[in-house]
Amino acid sequence: MSRNGSELAEFGYRQELNRTLSTTDLIVYGLVFMVPIAPWAIFGVVFNESRGMVPLVYLIGLAAMIFTAISYAQMSRAFPIAGSVYSYVGRGLDPRLGFLAGWTILLDYLLVPTLLYVFAAESMSGIFPAVPKPLWIVVFLGINTVINYLGISFTAVVNRIFLAAELIFVVIFVVMAVAAISRGVNGASFTTTPLFNPAEFSPALAAAALSIAVLSFLGFDGIATLSEEAKGGRRSAGIAMISGLILVATFFVTQTWLAALLVPGRTQFSEDETNNAFFGIVGSISSPGWEIAFLAMNALAVGIANCIAAQSATSRLLFSMARDGQLPSGLAKVNPRTKVPQRAIFLIAGITLVAGLFFVGQIDLISALVNFGALTAFLLLHVSVIAYYGVRKHSRNVVLHWLVPIVGFCIIGFVLINADPMAKIGGLVWLAIGVVVMFYYRRNGTSILPEHAATTEDSSA
């Protein structure tokens, strides 16, 4: 039996998924999930919320999320299996809390593709206004489902192609922006004001910025769902999560700093300008043709590449929970040829289609619900690090196994407390449904996780 196969056997599983992804593949996957060009679509909104300090928002977000990424890395090393936070909390803390962690982040994973399809449809409507937005959702969803069904190796190739295309556009924008600033277009000049403007900064602004930034960085955690398809060992997923987070933050800060420099003296966009603020800046320093090209690249990156990654992560989470008897067993069915959890993939496609068509034009509501699901799961993740390493393993690494999760818990808790009230209500309703589902499966004796969780120890921790 291979080393990776024996690792799975420790947890009572056999190797069913196709283990072909390198650490580089995982980093590429994480970058595609987080989208290096993500600030394009929301630049105007974030600009207004941050009084022009958009790059500061992303620096704050990186500082906040790096603690969660480190906690993920610790737990992915202890439990290199596909369930991500569901498995980490279930095995490191308590099986029931593990189910609830998986259930709450499932809200995030189910709604992220919905949010992305809505974003993509908005972008495509700017290019083809006569085409109904729901039609774009159907088209993108169909393409992504086929790509995911064809297997993780094919998905990895598509990820690399799209990441390369996104980075080419990042380079094009940087070159155009630097040239325009050097010429003083619209009075632009190089300054650090967008990074920090003491005249506009306030603690309230930082708090608002943190909520925005957390949503922007969601996706690095999806890397953990591919642990059973990675061939780089126990540390692979953790290295990829932290590396991906730092790399994408670099892209975010660079692009938004240059874009903010191109609108000197402004701290607000008008209502008409806000939705397409970044693309308007591109048009002002180039041509309408380039503006359309950037709009198209944004739509394809979000509507295809990003959604492929989101659908992959969600299907693996469903696969892991179903394999443990926490959800219908049919969702653990793996296609013998493509080695993917096919029923989970198709279920995600169906749910996303219905949700996408329902939520067209309701970006704010979807975003708020996505935040609630992820943040609640992150809280439980930090507690599981302390419980597993600090308490059960008696770790002497105070920084990694006590300080980091405590700081991470406080940051995530602060954001969650200040979340949108409607998101809290919707999230709590979803959590209540999860409690009912959990008791149903435990009462019927189909859950197998508690026994594994109680007996499995990580010999390498």
Local confidence band at 457 (pLDDT 50, 70, 90 cut-offs): very low
pLDDT tens across 368-412, in order? Answer: 677 778 888 999 999 999 999 999 999 999 999 999 999 999 988
Per the prediction, the chain carries an average pLDDT of 85
How many domains is the chain built from?
1
Sign, CA torsion 127/130/134/138: negative
In sequence order, the 6+-apart residues with CB closer than 8 A to the CB of 290 are: 176, 282, 283
Residue 3 lies in a domain: no
Examine the pLDDT at 1 and tell me if it is beyond 50: no
Examine the pLDDT at 108 and tell me if it is beyond 70: yes
- Cα dist from 57 to 66, 69, 372, 404, 413, whole Å: 14, 18, 19, 21, 18
Residues 138-156: what's their mean pLDDT?
89
Q: What is the pLDDT of residue 447?
A: 55
Residue matched to tokens 């990042």: 170
Sign, CA torsion 167/172/175/179: negative
**DSSP state at residue 395:** -
Examine the pLDDT at 431 and tell me if it is beyond 80: yes
Q: Alpha-carbon distance 446 to 282, whole Å?
A: 56
Q: What is the pLDDT of residue 359?
A: 67
Strand, coil or helix: what is 21?
Answer: strand
Q: Alpha-carbon distance 86 to 438, whole Å?
A: 13
Nearest Cα neighbor of 301 from 174, 175, 170 is 170
**Cα 416 to the chain's mean position, in Å?**
17
Residues 150-164: what's their mean pLDDT?
89
Q: What is the pLDDT of residue 415?
A: 81
Q: What is the pLDDT of residue 458?
A: 43
Burial 397-432 (b: 16+ CB within 10 A, else e): eeebbbebbbbbbebbeebbeebbeebeebbeebbe
Q: What percentage of the chain reaches a pLDDT higher than 90?
A: 33
Instruction: Give the residue ranges of DSSP H helices in 324-399.
Output: 342-358, 363-385, 398
Q: What is the pLDDT of residue 299?
A: 84
Local confidence band at 4 (pLDDT 50, 70, 90 cut-offs): low
Residue 460 lies in a domain: no
Angle of helix 203-217 relative to helix 54-78, nearest 10 degrees, comes to 50
Local confidence band at 452 (pLDDT 50, 70, 90 cut-offs): very low
Tokens, residue 459: 């010999």
Burial 21-46 (b: 16+ CB within 10 A, else e): bebebbbbbbbbbbbbbbbbbbbbbb
Q: What is the pLDDT of residue 451?
A: 45
Examine the pLDDT at 362 and tell me if it is beyond 90: no
Residues 227-251: what's their mean pLDDT?
89
Q: Alpha-carbon distance 88 to 380, whole Å?
A: 9
Task: Kindly report which listed range (160-169, 330-339, 382-391, 417-426) carries the lowest average pLDDT score.
Answer: 417-426
Residue 457 lies in a domain: no
Residue 461 lies in a domain: no
Nearest Cα neighbor of 387 from 71, 64, 65 is 71
Give the residue with greater pLDDT, 121 vs 189: 189
Give the residue with greater pLDDT, 65 vs 219: 65
Q: What is the pLDDT of residue 179?
A: 96
Q: What is the pLDDT of residue 455?
A: 39
Local confidence band at 364 (pLDDT 50, 70, 90 cut-offs): low
Task: Kindly report which listed range (43-47, 123-127, 352-356, 413-417) carries the lowest average pLDDT score.
Answer: 123-127
The CATH number of the domain holding residue 79 is: 1.20.1740.10
Residues 263-282: what's their mean pLDDT?
89
Nearest Cα neighbor of 233 from 6, 61, 1 is 6
Residue 451 lies in a domain: no
Q: What is the pTM for the complete model shown?
A: 0.85
DSSP states of 44-84:
HHHHHHTTT-HHHHHHHHHHHHHHHHHHHHHHHHH--STTT
Residues 217-241: what's their mean pLDDT?
85
pLDDT tens across 14-42, in order? Answer: 888 888 889 999 999 899 888 899 899 88
Strand, coil or helix: what is 446?
Answer: coil
Nearest Cα neighbor of 107 from 427, 438, 437 is 427
Q: What is the pLDDT of residue 432?
A: 92
Give the residue with greater pLDDT, 13 vs 88: 88
Q: What is the pLDDT of residue 394?
A: 93
Is-contact 135 127, C-beta < 8 A?
Answer: no
Q: What is the pLDDT of residue 300?
A: 86
Residues 246-256: what's their mean pLDDT?
96
Task: Kindly report which listed range (278-287, 385-394, 441-450) carries the lowest average pLDDT score.
Answer: 441-450
DSSP states of 180-203:
HHHHTGGG----STTT--TTT--H
Most confidently predicted of 67-76, 312-321, 443-452: 67-76
Residues 257-277: what's their mean pLDDT?
90
Residues 83-106: what's their mean pLDDT?
89
Give the domain range for residue 219. 16-444
Residue 459 lies in a domain: no
Tokens, residue 340: 């993917």
Residue 327 lies in a domain: yes
Examine the pLDDT at 238 and tell me if it is beyond 60: yes
Instruction: Give the residue ranges of DSSP H helices in 218-287.
Output: 236-261, 271-274, 277-285
Q: What is the pLDDT of residue 459?
A: 38
Tokens, residue 25: 């593949």
Q: What is the pLDDT of residue 361?
A: 59
Local confidence band at 313 (pLDDT 50, 70, 90 cut-offs): confident
**DSSP state at residue 230:** B
Examine the pLDDT at 461 and tell me if it is beyond 50: no
Q: Alpha-carbon distance 383 to 14, whole Å?
A: 28
**Cα 128 to the chain's mean position, in Å?**
28
Residue 92 lies in a domain: yes
Tokens, residue 346: 């198709």
